[in-house]
Amino acid sequence: MSPLQRIRNNLGPGLRRIMHTLRFIRLSTVVAGTGRMLHSFLFVPDDDVPRVKPDYSHMSVPQRMFARAADMFDFKIVFLIGLVFMAFSLRNVIAELPYLIAERKFIAFDELIPIFDLQSQYFDQISSGYSDLTATNEIRIRYSALTTWTRYAPIIYFSLLIVNAIAYTLMVFATTRFLSVSAHLRERTGEKARLLTATLVNLPLFVLLLYAKITHYYTLILGLALLYLAFVLTLELFLAQGRVKRKAAVIFLLVLLNPAVHYHLLYYGITAFIWLFFFAGALTRRIPFRRFIMSTLLYVLISAVSIGVYALFLFGADSVYSSDNLNNVAPVNYFLLENSSTPLHHVLALNLYSPVDNYYFQSYLPPEPNVVNALFLVVAFLPLVYLLGSRVIRRWERADRLGLMYLPVLALSLFSIYMALGLTFSGSIHSLLIDNIDSPFFQTTFGSLVLKAFQTFVSVIRFPHRFQLIYLMTLSLNASLGLLLLYKAVRNRQVMLNLRQPVTVLKAVFSKRAFLYMLSFALLVVPFFNTTLTRTVIVSGDWNGIFSPFAVDGEEILAEIVQDDERVFVAPYLEHNNFIVDEDGNRHRFIDKFWIYLLNRPGSYYGLGGDALNKLNSFLSSGRHCTKISGG
């Protein structure tokens, strides 16, 4: 033991907590500074347009009320909507906050485990990637080091609310920017109409995402929101609009600071895919060719630098990661690919793989798909009908760059459906490569490089159903565009109310805008509440008992375990949908990693990872204790 470690162990728990808090404050300062810099980049418009104070004098009282409410609606209100929704869905947890902060009660579900000691459960694991505490490769803590600290026990209950509200706001902001790319839409739709449309469409999609990925809210949900924004800004970069250098700098930060490694690789893949469409637009002079070449060079530069920086951190000399050890760290085999491939009807129904469904149905997908959610895909095709109907395919000037930004996203949406099918479709890339892996092509040098690249891609992405998240993103953008065009059509064809005559509240409610938005809200939000389980989980206040705070019993047994330095505590692997049944027939959920973290003693966690010694420890363990195995 080094002198530094000896001094650290001799420090009292209070002083250690102070040191951890100071380190957390320093990390929070860096994150806050980065957020302020991004805000200055993103929320300052390219063109400074003077704001004119609205005039409500010619309006009646009900119309003035709706107009003032619309003018007050901004991204602060969007953040408040997300915060209120999270507080409502976790209101029973908030009621127990005094006990949770005092660590007299806890919440734990699947892999959402509080971090009780920052040194052993966070800093030590991100420094090497291998945890002596759990005897396995803590890959999710290392690659998501930027946000895993939000699971620290004193703040996890607040970060559940704030981080998810920020993610929802970023999703709405990215969609609003997407709707503002085309001058055709900016001239014919108001800023508030675009913002409200993005808010309405993203609300049910956020509920769906939260239901499926709440256990990884700090990586998968927040990371997808950052991917939303990086993707939309990349569209603007390819269109050579505005200050491309500033956009390139923001994209670089968004990609580099994304807390999920999957989104890093997915970003490069999907942006390279849509670049082909914009290259065709540059060749046909829909985009200024020289500016497009500059944008492409900036895109290549930020991609190369971000890949290099992230790979240096992830695969550094002090890490257990390497190209040869990748499959051992994150094992991928045929059965994993088969179990994580999504049937077409579930993809179209927006049924994401969810630990909540696994908890109730012993399967990550529900028994029956929620087919009515395919309505989003129908709305997403409305812009295509508009483009074909207005002959924009032959006369691009009528819609500016509306088609040029819509068609690549639509193609990416269909491509993500194809990739999410995995081994459920015999014509998928996964099935074709597996069936033809012994072909002469893959014996050549070029073929072996292609196979190696695909193997690395699969090892990082791991699950084909990750592409459902890309489908969700593209659906959000195109469905918002379709709804906005529907609003435009209603506005152009509906008779205006006579403002000089008395207008009742009923007429104001069913005016052109209010009626359309209420109809949109009913069509796009209600489908997510048409299943009893979804409605029960969201409305219950503690996710139907999943996040119900609980106290820890059996202090005598825990004290015996902690005092025993010669043995290691091995918990049964029951973190998902398994239960322990007592003599009275009551079921108890047992999460092994929670107890290892709570006791903060070396254990053996049979979770994610392919370390052979860890599997051997778990296999040979029996009873409550087992002798610790060491060696190679």
| Percent of residues, the chain, with pLDDT higher than 90 | 19
pLDDT at 84: 93
Residue 38 main-chain phi, psi, to 5 deg: -65, -40
Distances (CA, A) of 505 to 37, 193, 511: 44, 21, 10
What is the residue whose two structure tokens read 């918002």?
Answer: 480
- Condensed to tens digits (0 to 9), the pLDDT of residues 113-135 reads 899 988 888 888 777 656 777 77
Residues pairing with 112 in the sheet: 109
CA max distance for the chain: 88
- Condensed to tens digits (0 to 9), the pLDDT of residues 332-343 reads 667 778 888 899
- Condensed to tens digits (0 to 9), the pLDDT of residues 139-170 reads 777 778 888 889 998 899 999 999 999 999 99
In the predicted model, is pLDDT for residue 631 greater than 50? no
Give me the mean pLDDT over the 603-607 stretch.
64
- Condensed to tens digits (0 to 9), the pLDDT of residues 543-558 reads 988 898 888 766 566 6
Give me the mean pLDDT over the 202-211 stretch.
91
| Distance from C-alpha of 115 to C-alpha of 151, rounded to nearest angstrom | 6
The DSSP element (H or E) to which 580 belongs, if any, is: strand 580-581
In the predicted model, is pLDDT for residue 493 greater than 80? no
- Strand, coil or helix: what is 56? coil
Is the CB of residue 629 less than 8 Å from the CB of residue 616?
yes
What is the residue whose two structure tokens read 């109730």?
Answer: 360
Is the CB of residue 252 less than 8 Å from the CB of residue 237?
no
In the predicted model, is pLDDT for residue 515 greater than 50? yes
Residue 180 main-chain phi, psi, to 5 deg: -100, 0
Is the Cα dihedral 161, 162, 165, 167 positive or negative?
negative
Is the CB of residue 132 less than 8 Å from the CB of residue 602?
yes
Residues pairing with 569 in the sheet: 603, 625
Is the Cα dihedral 266, 271, 274, 279 positive or negative?
negative
Q: Percentages helix, strand, coil for the chain, rounded to the nearest 5?
A: 65, 5, 30
pLDDT band at 526 (very low <50, low <70, confident <90, very high): low
In terms of Cβ atoms closer than 10 Å to its own Cβ (0-12, 13-18, 19+), residue 594 is buried
Is the Cα dihedral 505, 506, 510, 511 positive or negative?
negative
| Distance from C-alpha of 465 to C-alpha of 280, rounded to nearest angstrom | 30
pTM: 0.82
Q: What is the mean pLDDT of the chain?
A: 75
Please state the domain extents for the chain.
153-540
Distances (CA, A) of 253 to 105, 310, 559, 563: 38, 12, 46, 46
CA 77, distance to chain mean position in Å, is: 21
Angle, CA of 348, 352 and 358, to the nearest 5°: 130
pLDDT band at 588 (very low <50, low <70, confident <90, very high): low
| Distance from C-alpha of 197 to C-alpha of 413, rounded to nearest angstrom | 20
Residue 603 main-chain phi, psi, to 5 deg: -140, -170
Return the axis-axis angle of helices 512-525 and 191-213, rounded to nearest 10°: 10
Angle, CA of 109, 115 and 120, to the nearest 5°: 135
In terms of Cβ atoms closer than 10 Å to its own Cβ (0-12, 13-18, 19+), residue 621 is buried
Is the CB of residue 596 less than 8 Å from the CB of residue 578?
no
Q: Which of 10, 11, 78 is CA-nearest to residue 43?
A: 78
Burial 323-336 (b: 16+ CB within 10 A, else e): eeebeebbebeeee
